[in-house]
Homo-oligomer: A and B are copies of this chain.
């Protein structure tokens, strides 16, 4: 047995649910199904089906969610109709049985119930006869389930489990905005295409940005570049049940590169530390806050950020979406003012607080900077440039560089990264859902904030961005 095989066997033993765990899940589904059948009276045909990883046999131990679909054959079904006639009455039914029952209205109304270690989503959808009939993304799920079941056998279901656990270990599992990574369905498609976990990651080391994959066969380069223009995504995996759709559209460039790099590194040095399982947590050395601060300083970086308040009831996808958008604009602003963002993290408790942290180079910029002028040719451009800069206090110039570009040497606006962050925070608008509470100006302030939060997820994320570890 090679190192690689030994590692995979060890991981699989951890991630594959015991038959008992799976049977309990199926029993739970039967109970939920029965409750719905007993209570839901509709003037249309409907059926209750189990979807998600349990239905497909690709679920991970300790992480079993039941997706219970109520499929209704009513052509004029609308969101409002579903809320009134399905979700509201079922909510009343389940609330009497399970106190954890919650109404959810993200992009689609559904019911969420926690029972022990299991999480159940009851999702109403249109019962399409054919993929061409679907109206919303949820209507597509039954087709995905049937396709995956038809293409996976016992062995390849375990390969999916390995891949999902690897994606989790690398932090790129999940299509939600928080992660911008690989969905469970995408993991299943990749195993269907390549046959095994190892074949998937081996192939990934040759994927380029804008890679185009079809599950069966391959595409010629002309088609590939056409698809690249249509989908404009870092990774394009045509959905076999609906080829107008990119099953990898959620995958960001960052997540793709993390997956590819981790795939390469794992193949070089196979280790269980690449996987996240219920027992095998990624083998990060627990570094103290003091040690992290020392690493930040030894590399001449600064660690700083912004704490945001979150308005009550803001849906997680909205929180993460807004966080990513403020991160993007802060990174742009730091670059504009001469700082290089080495790494960043966004975090939220998904209830009341969110956090954006960056590590940047350098800790301090020179007092002066070049302010390049317009190219030659327009007298009015030159006039505006000369007028604006020759009056500037402390400016030296105009002068000409060896390429013939005019410039002034002017006092820099921001010498320290916290000045850019403070300026950014004071420029923020649209603060209803996410509003800045506090700027963490340096590594010391970040350390004490993170220590006080006592979130393992946050501590690990901080360790990654400071030590620059993918795992």
Interface residues of A (CB under 8 A from B): 205-209, 234, 252-254, 256-258, 260-261, 264-265, 268, 295, 298-301, 327-328, 331, 340-344, 361-363, 365-370, 375-379, 382-383, 386, 396-406, 408-409, 467-470
Contacts and interface: CB of A to CB of B under 8 A. Distances in A.
Given A368-B299, A397-B468, A398-B470, A254 B205 contact: no
A234 B402 CA distance: 12
A362 B295 CA distance: 23
Contacts of A469: 399
A365 B362 contact: yes
Nearest to A415: B300
Contact of A401 (B254, B370, B386): B254
Most buried by B among A207, A340, A468: A468
A368 B361 contact: yes
Given A331-B402, A362-B366, 6 more contacts: A206-B379, A208-B376, A300-B366, A300-B368, A343-B399, A399-B469
B252 A409 contact: no
Nearest 6 CB-CB pairs, A to B? A253-B404, A208-B377, A300-B366, A257-B404, A362-B366, A399-B468
A340 to B, nearest CB: 6
B376 A366 contact: no
A404 B234 contact: yes
B375 A208 contact: yes
Given A264-B386, A377-B208, A405-B257, A399 B470 contact: yes
A158 to B, nearest CB: 26
9 contacts: A206-B379, A208-B377, A208-B378, A268-B386, A331-B402, A340-B370, A341-B401, A343-B401, A396-B468
A342 B409 contact: yes
A166 to B, nearest CB: 16
Nearest to A205: B379
A406 B361 contact: no
A163 to B, nearest CB: 19
A257 B376 contact: yes
Contacts of A209: 375-377, 404
A298 B327 CA distance: 34
A406 B261 CA distance: 8
Given A209-B376, A468-B409, A469-B399, A264 B368 contact: no
Contacts of A468: 396-399, 408-409
B403 A265 contact: no
A270 B451 CA distance: 65
A324 to B, nearest CB: 9
A110 to B, nearest CB: 32
Contacts of A376: 207-209, 256-257, 260
Nearest to A377: B208
Given A361-B366, A409-B342, A257 B400 contact: yes
A260 B382 CA distance: 10
Most buried by B among A299, A368, A400, A468: A400
Given A206-B378, A362-B366, A404 B342 contact: no
B299 A403 contact: no
B252 A404 contact: yes
Contacts of A208: 375-378
B366 A363 contact: yes
Contacts of A375: 208-209
Contact of A402 (B268, B328, B386, B408): B328
Nearest to A398: B261
Contacts of A261: 382, 398, 400, 406
Nearest to A269: B390
A382 B106 CA distance: 40
Contacts of A369: 361
A440 to B, nearest CB: 20
